[in-house]
Amino acid sequence: MLTNLFREAGRPLLMPYAVGGYPDSESCFHILRSYLKGGADLIEIGIPFSDPLADGPVIQGASVVALRNGIRPAGVLDLAARAAGEGAWVVLLSYLNTILAFGSARFFDRCRESGVLGVVVPDVPVEEAGELQSAARERGVDVILLAAPTSTDARLARIAAAASGFIYCVSTMGVTGARAALRTDLPEFVGRIRKHTDLPLAVGFGVSTAEQADEVAGYADGVIIGSALVDVIARNESLDASLAEIQGLLHRVRSMPSFSR
Whether 55 is catalytic: yes
Q: Which of 8, 24, 41, 44 is catalytic?
A: 44
C-alpha to C-alpha distance for 88 and 172, rounded to whole angstroms: 28
Residue 150: helix, strand or coil by DSSP? coil
C-alpha to C-alpha distance for 211 and 215, rounded to whole angstroms: 6
Q: Which of 55, 214, 215, 231 is catalytic?
A: 55
DSSP state of 196: T
Strand partners, 223: 14, 203
Beta strands in 101-243 (DSSP E): 116-120, 142-147, 167-170, 201-204, 222-225
DSSP state of 25: H
On the question of a cis peptide bond just before residue 23, with omega within 30 degrees of 0, the verdict is yes
Q: Where does 69-152 have alpha helices with state H?
A: 73-85, 96-102, 104-114, 130-137
Using CA atoms, how far residue 139 sits from 49, 90, 136, 152, in Å, is: 24, 15, 5, 32
The catalytic site residues sit at 44, 55
